[in-house]
Amino acid sequence: MSKRKSTTLQDSSAKKKSAANFKTEWLSELVETDTPTTKTKAPTKLGDIFTYRSKSDDVVCLYCKDAHASGDFATGKRWDDWKIDYLKRHVTQKSHPDSVSTLRLQKNRRFAQTTKRECR
C-alpha cells in the first residue's frame, strides 16, 4: 500500500543537482588534464589528483600539496554544498598547472640523478 509513496520520494531526491556530501564515486571520473608524469594532457582520474578526507570533510589536491602551492586545495578545501564541478574547475585554475610544472621539474631532476647512478 505504501509502496507507491516511497518510490515518489526517491525520484524527487534523485533530481537534486548538488550533493550535500562528497561522493567517492566522483574520484573515478576522468578529466583531460596535465599531470606531472605526462608531457601533454591525458585522461586522468580525479582520484589520482584529489583525495577526500572524511575525518575533516575536505578535499586535498595532491599535486598542489606536493608542490607546496598556496591555496585551500593544498591544505584542504571544503564546501557546504559539494559539486563535482568544483574539482573539475580547480584543475583549470592557474595555481594548479603551476603546481604540475613544479612537480615536473622536480621529477626530471630526480630522474636525471637516478640515471646517472645507474649508468655509472
**What residues line the site for Zn ion (CB under 5 A)?**
61, 63-64, 73, 96
Q: Which is nearer to Zn ion, 38 or 113 (CB)?
A: 38
Cα–Cα distance for residue pair 53/57, rounded to 1 Å: 6
Cα–Cα distance for residue pair 50/98, rounded to 1 Å: 16
Q: Which is nearer to Zn ion, 107 or 114 (CB)?
A: 107
CB 64 within 8 A of CB 74: yes
C-alpha R_g of the chain? 19
Closest approach of Zn ion to the CB of residue 6, in Å: 41
Closest approach of Zn ion to the CB of residue 41, in Å: 15
Cα–Cα distance for residue pair 17/71, rounded to 1 Å: 27
Closest approach of Zn ion to the CB of residue 31, in Å: 12
Q: Which is nearer to Zn ion, 26 or 96 (CB)?
A: 96
Residue nearest to Zn ion (CB): 61
The three-state secondary structure class of 27 is: helix
Closest approach of Zn ion to the CB of residue 113, in Å: 26
